[in-house]
Amino acid sequence: MENILLRNRTIPEIGTFETYLEHGGWEAFKKAFSMSPDEVIQEVLNSNLRGRGGAGFSTGRKWSFIPKDAERKYVVVNADESEPGTFKDRELLEFNAQQVIEGAMIAAYAIQATAVYIYFRGEFWDIAHNFEQEIAKAREANLIGQNILGGDWSCEFYTHLGAGAYICGEESAMLNSLQGLLGQPRVKPPFPVMKGGGLYYEPTVVNNVETLANVPWIIVNGADAYRAIGTPESPGPKIFCLSGHIAKAGNYEIPLGTTFRELLYDLAGGPQHEGKGFKALLPSGASGPVIPLTEDMMDTPMTYESLVELGSVLGSASFIVMEEGTDMVWAAYKMAQFFKHESCGKCTPCREGTYWLNQLMTRIISGQGTMRDLEILENAATQMQGKSLCALGEFATSPILGTLKHYRAEFEAYVNGEKQKELPASKTVAVAH
């Protein structure tokens, strides 16, 4: 399959304005500009493009929610990419900047936005610097800025660097951070697309980098051609990020609906170490439940729906692969630490819950846990579900409950005294049985 997203793999320098133009760059924007904004929204709606930031929500539907009569509207590009094991947006941003800028400008035209903001995670300062230069070239060509292509519509494009918080990838926390407020989620509704819910409380479309990178191809080739890739419910190409115990880690652009076997064996070469089989998979970084990676599921097509049937989520398709011999309790402990660190503290179930999940995991992993601790762990994680203000509170329960469900015996080995890990003094907890 040709690379629709990672065009840098076949055309070096495609991220620069000059090379992008040589290869048909900005033709999609010009075509969109010759259509009415509603026609552009309809085309994206017909393509059934689903958001690549994690939730898989219909992009065309999201755009259609923006009230037409609002005086100010914004597009915010989510380039925070902080999920463990996720590095797809980074390749798009680093090597395909113009495609992302063009996709965002098509979204801006479709909703008649007054400005586009791209919010980068703090570590992407070099990428942000390059973006500023590439945006300036597009502005020079009258594709961004005042009276674009000689028409009435004007739209600026700004870059913004975050300060390195996972929670600022959550769209409403991102909007607060952009406004100079504390990066904490807002109570929803109102949702970002609604008056009162978006950037500066104006209607706003928030889209992931990879989502927007799909848009130019859809406009040039049409919704039918896009839907011909992948499956009816999960159409289009998707970048899968492979890390962990896999022979060839990296980004793979493949159609949704490709099987696990084709990706993990044919393309990525199987488990990392010879003689070992696969054991488990985190399909969505740390934020989705862990599932056993078995021979039975190898011929299953990978789609948004099939991952739910397997008891997890596709999310951002950040596959953290674990082979035989992986200590699943240790993996769950590392994720409990991560979520405790990243909880923003705004709501009690998540602030207190992530603290206690981490305390309990620390006690268990250091060999001081009891069977009663396992019950409390399961109970505390279950109690957090459905009670937190944003999805981080849910994500935090996934590694615990998923691991307990599939690998309970490994937890029992820790509480029965068969296993224990030496932790640094700073990581140990007081034991009061």
Ligand X SMILES: Cc1cc2nc3c(=O)[nH]c(=O)nc-3n(C[C@H](O)[C@H](O)[C@H](O)COP(=O)(O)O)c2cc1C
Determine, following the binding rule CB under 6 A, whether residue 82 of this chain makes contact with ligand X.
yes
- Distance from C-alpha of 378 to C-alpha of 263, rounded to nearest angstrom: 33
* 207/287 with CB nearer ligand SF4: 287
Nearest alpha carbon to residue 54 among 78, 31, 38, 34: 78
**Alpha helices (H) along 158-200:** 171-178
- Distance from C-alpha of 328 to C-alpha of 299, rounded to nearest angstrom: 25
- Distance from C-alpha of 293 to C-alpha of 399, rounded to nearest angstrom: 15
Q: List Cβ neighbours of 235 (8 Å cut-off, separation of 6 or more).
A: 47, 48, 49, 50, 226, 227, 229, 256
> What is the three-class DSSP state of 284?
strand
* 16/208 with CB nearer ligand X: 208
Site map (CB under 6 A) of ligand X, residues 150-189, x = contact: ----------------xx-xxx------------------
Q: Which does 393 bind (CB under 5 to 8 A by kind): ligand X, ligand SF4, none?
A: ligand SF4
Q: Choose one: 79-87, 214-222, 340-348, 404-412; the region binding ligand SF4 (CB under 6 A).
A: 340-348
Which one of 351, 405, 406, 421 is in contact with ligand SF4 (CB under 6 A)? 351
Strand partners, 208: 78
> What is the three-class DSSP state of 157?
strand
Q: Taking the CB of residue 65, how many other CB atoms lie within 10 A of it?
A: 13
Q: Choose one: 56-64, 82-90, 279-287, 347-355; the region binding ligand SF4 (CB under 6 A).
A: 347-355
- Examine residue 67 and say whether the peptide bond preceding it is cis (omega within 30 degrees of 0): no
Determine, following the binding rule CB under 6 A, whether residue 347 of this chain makes contact with ligand SF4.
yes
* 287/306 with CB nearer ligand SF4: 287
Please give the residues from 46 up to 85 whose contact with ligand SF4 meets the rule CB under 6 A: none
Q: How far is the CB of 177 from ligand X (least distance, A)?
A: 12
User: Under a CB-based contact definition with an 8 Å cutoff, are residues 390 and 192 in contact?
Assistant: no
Residue nearest to ligand SF4 according to CB distances in the complex: 350
Q: Choose one: 144-152, 156-164, 345-353, 375-383; the region binding ligand SF4 (CB under 6 A).
A: 345-353
Determine, following the binding rule CB under 6 A, whether residue 350 of this chain makes contact with ligand SF4.
yes
Q: Choose one: 78-86, 135-143, 278-286, 349-357; the region binding ligand X (CB under 6 A).
A: 78-86
Which one of 213, 390, 401, 404 is in contact with ligand SF4 (CB under 6 A)? 390
- Distance from C-alpha of 80 to C-alpha of 92, rounded to nearest angstrom: 13
Please give the residues from 165 up to 224 whose contact with ligand SF4 meets the rule CB under 6 A: 167, 184-185
Taking the CA of residue 365 as centre, how many other CA atoms within 13 Å lie in the half-sphere pointing to its CB? 25
Residue 410 sits at φ, ψ, to 5 deg, of: -70, -35
Determine, following the binding rule CB under 6 A, whether residue 389 of this chain makes contact with ligand SF4.
yes
Binding residues (CB under 6 A) for ligand X: these are: 51-55, 57, 78, 80-83, 166-167, 169-171, 206-208, 211, 390-392
